[in-house]
Structures are given as C-alpha cells and as structure tokens.
Chains A and B, each alone.
Chain A
Amino acid sequence: MAAEAGGGHGPMSQFEIKRYVPLDLFGQDASFTNASLYMVLAVLLITAFFAAAMRNRALVPGRLQSVAEMSYEFIANMVRENVGDEGMKYFPFIFSLFVFVLVLNMLGMIPGTFTVTSHIIVTFALAALVFLVVTAIGFARHGLGYLKLFVPDGVPIWLMPLIVPIELISYLIRPISLSVRLFANMMAGHTMLKVFAGFAVSLPVFAKIAPVLFTTAFTGLEFVVAFLQAFIFTVLTCIYLNDAVNMHH
C-alpha cells in the first residue's frame, strides 16, 4: 500500500490534486487543478441545465422544465418548512448550496472523475460560509439578543454554568460536523469502491464475482449517499438558518 502514494493506482490516488495549469494570484497558488475543472464543469452543467429547461418558459412544462421546477419547489418547501416565509430571502443561497454539492457529488460517481466534495477543505469552506452567513444573519436580525440562543428557556439557573458552555460548543462545532459529515461520507464511499474494485482485479478468476457484485450494489448505494449528503447538508443549513431567523430550537 505504500507504493501507491507516488501517484499509482491505490484507493487514495483518486483524491490527489493534479495541477493542470499553474497559476499565481497575488502570491497565492491559484493553479487550475482537477478540482477546479470539476467545479467549473458543475457550474457549466447547472447553468446549461437551467438555460435549456427555462428556454421556453412554458405554461405547461416539458420534461426539463418540470425537473427545474421540481428542484425549485423541493428546496423552496424545505426552506419554508424549516425557516418559514422569512427564510425565503435566503432561498437562492440555500438552493445554490444544494445544487452545487449535489452536482459535485454526482459528477464524482462517474468512473474516472474527481470528487470535489471528498476534500475536507472544500466542504469545510462551504460549511464555514454557512456558519458565517447564519451567524451574521442572527446578529443582524436580533443584535446582541442573538446570544440568548445559548441560554435556553426553562433551564434552572444553577444549570446555566453547564448548559451555556455546552450550547456554545455545539454551536461552534457546527461547521466542523457539517463539513466532516459530507467529506467523510464521500471519501469513505469512494475509497470502499476502489478497494473492492481492486479486489476484483487482484483476486483469482473464480472469486472475482463476489467483489464485482459487491461493487455494483455499492455503486447504487453511493448514488443514494451522493443525493442524501447533499440533502442533509442543505437541511442542516436550513435548521441553522431557522435558529438565526426565528431564534427557537
């Protein structure tokens, strides 16, 4: 397993960042990498999809337009149910998060592609963005009253020294739990697929059927995970947003 680190075909080599075009931006490394490629691809795909779907703006929607409308209603209902009508102001942000993560997850399911969301730095940046946006909304709407979020109602005063730090830590840990959940799910799934696909290659002929069947079934599960993790990321963002907008648990 040690030999794979040098860019071989081990289960981890699929996560390596490859610099296609070295770039430099104000002293920062801004190279065009495989991660950049798939992010660009995702944005292009999403844009092309909506351009094609909404080309006619038909009163009676066709197939593509139905899908676009369903995705819109799906996230709009999610925001409305979790945050209420007040939350619809932030709907474009939530929707962008959902389709971005979903398309990146799904692109990663195509064999030979790179999964952007399997990198902790990407998921952490998205989760940190959510955390900063939600916290900013909370303070903008409630001022210092937003700090009452850490002082739950109906808790006896003598429990406060215990409850307040717990609430504070659970609030501050959100970007970490949010990012690690997505990153770990994507990385673990893709690693498992590669490991079992590797068994299919290395095992003797009569035993190959087992890893092939497993990999096939597991690929189906991974598609579910790819959707589910995008969904969970979005739902949790909505729940955090609800705290900031409505201030009740």
Chain B
Amino acid sequence: MFSVITAAAQAVTEAVAGAAVEAAPHASGGLPQLNTHDFSPQLIWLAVMFTLLYVILSRVALPAVGEVLAERRERIGRDLAAAAKLKSQTDKALSDYEKALADARSKASAIAKEKRQSLADETEAERLKVEAQLNAKLHEAEARIAATKAKALLSVNDIAAETASAVVGRLIGQDVSVADVKAALAAAGK
C-alpha cells in the first residue's frame, strides 16, 4: 500500500511538474519539493504521525468533547423538562387556590343569602303577627264604638222627646207626656 502511494505520487509529481524539472538540473537545483529522494522519509513520518493523530483524536479527544457536548445538551433538556414540570405544578396550585377562593366566596355568599332570607322571613312573620293583633284590637274598638254610638243614638231620641215635650208643653201651656211626643215623632218620621 505504502509503496503504491509512493510510486503513484512520484509518477504524478513528475507528470505535473515535469516541464519545470526539465528546465533545472535535477540533482542540484529545481524545486526542493520534486527531489524524489526526500519522498520516502516524508511519507513514512506522515503515515506514522497522521495515524497517531487519528488514533488520539478518535479514541480520546473527540469522544471527550462529544461526551461533554452530549451531557450539556442532555442537562439542558433535563432542566427544561424540570422547569416545565414545576411550572405545570405551579399552574395547578394556582388554579386550585383560585378554585378554593371561588368556592369559599360562593359559600359565603350562600350563607349570607340564607341568613338574609331567614331574617326577612322572621321579620315578616313578626310583622304579620303584630298586624293581626292590631287588627283584632281595631275590630274590638270598632265594635265598642258602634255599641256606644247606638246607645248614644238611643239616648238622643229620648233627649229629643223630652226636650220636644218640654218645648211643646211650654208652647201650648199644657203638659205633654213623653210617650205622646214619641208617638208623634214616630208618626212624623214615617
């Protein structure tokens, strides 16, 4: 393999730059790059050094860099996932809190409403009771007034008859009984 490369390289070099080489004497002058005696040590050291470099890089250096990069990518991904999880937890806690708050508020307003209702009911009942009592007293008073009025009206008739008999007796100079006046009044009232 190695000698194949050497031979090919020599052939190519001579073909590519052959014209230039011909111009200068081969042994003493010309391009140092075209001195075929120098090819062998360069190729051997190149093969050894490039192989060594390849082994070092591919076995040690590049895996180390690759691992660090992969680890960082993984770490960032993991942190982002953790952050997303924490955020969803926070969101859940917040929504729970808001729900609890809304529940408490609605419960409080329900209690207040109920209390208000019961107070209103009680007041209404009290009012009705008092009203009924008042009505009863009113009826009683009205009845009493009516009775008093009837009695008074009866007395008015008597007084009127007596007055009338007294007036008539004075006018005609003769005593007129109350019963007569009454009878006369009754007849006149018809």
Contact = CB atoms under 8 A, between A and B. Distances in A.
A50 B41 contact: no
Contacts of B40: 28-30
Interface in A1-39: 2, 5-6, 12-13, 15-17, 19, 23, 25, 28-33, 35-36, 39
Counting chain B CB atoms within 10 Å of each CB, which of A30, A65, A125 scores highest? A125
Interface stretch (A90-98, A148-156, A213-221, A235-243): A90-98
B81 interface: no
Contacts, number: 159
Contacts of A40: 45, 49
Q: Looking at chain A's contact residues, is the secondary structure mostly helix, strand, loop, or mixed?
A: helix
Given A35-B45, A43-B52, A69 B16 contact: no
Interface string B130-159: 000000000000000000000000000000
A176 B58 CA distance: 27
A92 B8 contact: no
Nearest to A180: B16
Contact of B9 (A2, A59, A125): A125
B68 A5 contact: no
A95 B9 contact: no
Q: Looking at chain B's contact residues, is the secondary structure mostly helix, strand, loop, or mixed?
A: helix
Counting chain A CB atoms within 10 Å of each CB, which of B24, B28, B47, B64 scores highest? B64
Nearest to A46: B53
Interface residues of A, number: 61
B139 to A, nearest CB: 99
B9 to A, nearest CB: 5
Given A29-B40, A33-B38, A121 B65 contact: no
Interface of A: 2, 5-6, 12-13, 15-17, 19, 23, 25, 28-33, 35-36, 39-40, 42-43, 46-47, 50-51, 53-54, 57-59, 61, 65, 68-69, 72-73, 91-93, 95-96, 99-100, 116, 118-122, 124-126, 128-129, 175-176, 180, 183, 187
13 contacts: A5-B30, A36-B41, A39-B50, A54-B68, A58-B68, A59-B72, A59-B75, A72-B66, A92-B57, A118-B33, A122-B43, A176-B16, A183-B33
- Across chains A and B, which 8 residue pairs bring their CB atoms closest together, nearest first? A92-B58, A50-B61, A5-B29, A36-B45, A17-B38, A39-B49, A15-B32, A54-B64
